Copies of this chain bind each other. A is one copy, B any other.
Amino acid sequence: MSRETSILVVGSVAYDTVETPFGKAEQVLGGSASFFSVAASFFAPVNLVGVVGDDFGDKELAAFKGRPIDVAGLERAAGKTFHWQGKYSYDLNSRDTIRTDLNVFEHFKPRIPESYRRSGLVFLGNIDPALQRSVLDQVQKPRLVACDTMNFWISGRLEELKKTLERVDILLINDAEARQLSGEWNIVKAARVIRAMGPSILVIKKGEHGVLMFSEHGSFAAPAYPLESVFDPTGAGDTFAGGFIGYLAGAADESDDVLRRAVIMGSTLASFCVEAFSLDRLVALTRAEIDERFRLFKKLTHFESL
């Protein structure tokens, strides 16, 4: 049997209203599963599970069309689509949530279509850890399970989250979340504590400061690509995850070399994401542009041995 490369992603599909120092975008496509799916679809087939309301139109769906993204698992419920509104500080380094209307996402119970159940990789987006486990209960022995979470679940659902982490191979979180989850300030100590909870691979996202990965092979550090204009950081973390998991899905194994290139691929995709609002840059992206920026990452970080 051939190696199963398809990726099941469960997460939010949303409307975002975003204000940055450079402009405002109203009711544009957002959500973790949206960014993840488009990024991952450059490398492997994606099986999307999420929920939208009856206000979700063909215009938004167009972002997924013409790509290997299966939307059979994108449930349509009566009501409005999840809506998030945020405003970034002048330096883009912090943001305030103006409003969050969960709408149909509030009672989202992931139902995995029969055709998705043999997906080779699973990405559990940032939802209630008990729901994340319910997804794992519905799939058949995926090759790799990856997971995101956030401060809300770490502080409010820690025991549930720990049960989920026991079944996870790869955890992708930011540095503040890693510190909160582990109770350790030092990031190396934090990584050891978290990896003992289950995930053998921990990817810590540090925004403009890049990414640290910890695994049985040791640690790997990658910078963020230094961009002259960062337009809108929304979705960068989910896009990183999409590039990272997508690259792993399409690779021949999960060796240290592959994991390292996957981190760079995630960083590459994320560096495009922030160049425009919503998924605007991602949907216009070509594989040639991706490979060229990957090559620039190599130039950015390479040095010769002594």
Contacts and interface: CB of A to CB of B under 8 A. Distances in A.
Contact of A261 (B186, B209, B291, B304): B304
Interface string A16-41: 00000000000000000000000000
A91 interface: yes
A221 interface: yes
A291 B229 CA distance: 37
B295 A188 contact: no
A234 B210 CA distance: 24
A91 B190 CA distance: 13
A303 B298 contact: yes
Mostly, the A contact residues are mixed
A46 interface: no
B187 A226 contact: yes
Nearest to A258: B304
Interface size band for A: 35 or more
B219 A300 contact: yes
B228 A219 contact: no
Nearest to A305: B298
A264 interface: yes
Nearest to A206: B209
A257 interface: yes
Contacts of A210: 209-210, 221, 223
Contacts of A212: 223, 226
A59 interface: no
Given A212-B226, A221-B226, A223-B221, A303 B257 contact: yes
B228 A301 contact: no
Interface of A: 90-91, 185-189, 206, 209-210, 212, 218-223, 226-230, 257, 260-261, 263-264, 291, 294-295, 298-306
30 contacts: A90-B185, A186-B227, A186-B230, A188-B226, A188-B228, A189-B228, A206-B209, A209-B209, A209-B210, A210-B210, A210-B221, A210-B223, A212-B223, A220-B301, A220-B303, A221-B223, A221-B226, A221-B300, A221-B301, A222-B223, A222-B303, A257-B303, A260-B303, A260-B304, A261-B304, A261-B306, A264-B303, A291-B306, A295-B306, A301-B303
The 3 closest A-B pairs by CB, nearest first: A221-B223, A260-B303, A209-B209
Given A186-B227, A186-B228, A221-B226, 10 more contacts: A187-B226, A188-B228, A209-B210, A219-B226, A221-B301, A222-B223, A223-B223, A263-B303, A291-B306, A301-B303
